[in-house]
Amino acid sequence: MPPGPAKALHAQLEPLYAQAPERLRHREFPESGHMMREADWHEATRDAADWLSRFLPR
């Protein structure tokens, strides 16, 4: 997927996360196309799981 729209959304959200910038993150995997490389997919899903564990209430 083209990264432009996600980057634009991230830029619009940045001011709203000024008090907690660690909660907002945009990552790109330039070596992957729409169907991600296996290593990138594992890294992305691991990062997502880490974020959920860190910021969602238990």
Domain ranges of the chain: 4-55
- In eight-state DSSP terms, residue 16 is G
Alpha carbons 17 and 35: distance in angstroms, whole number: 30
**pLDDT, tens only, 14-50:** 999 999 999 999 999 999 988 999 999 999 999 999 9
Alpha carbons 1 and 30: distance in angstroms, whole number: 11
The pLDDT of residue 2 is 81
The pLDDT of residue 46 is 97
Q: What does the block give as tokens for 38? A: 């296996």
Alpha carbons 42 and 7: distance in angstroms, whole number: 21
Q: pTM for the whole thing?
A: 0.78
The pLDDT of residue 22 is 94
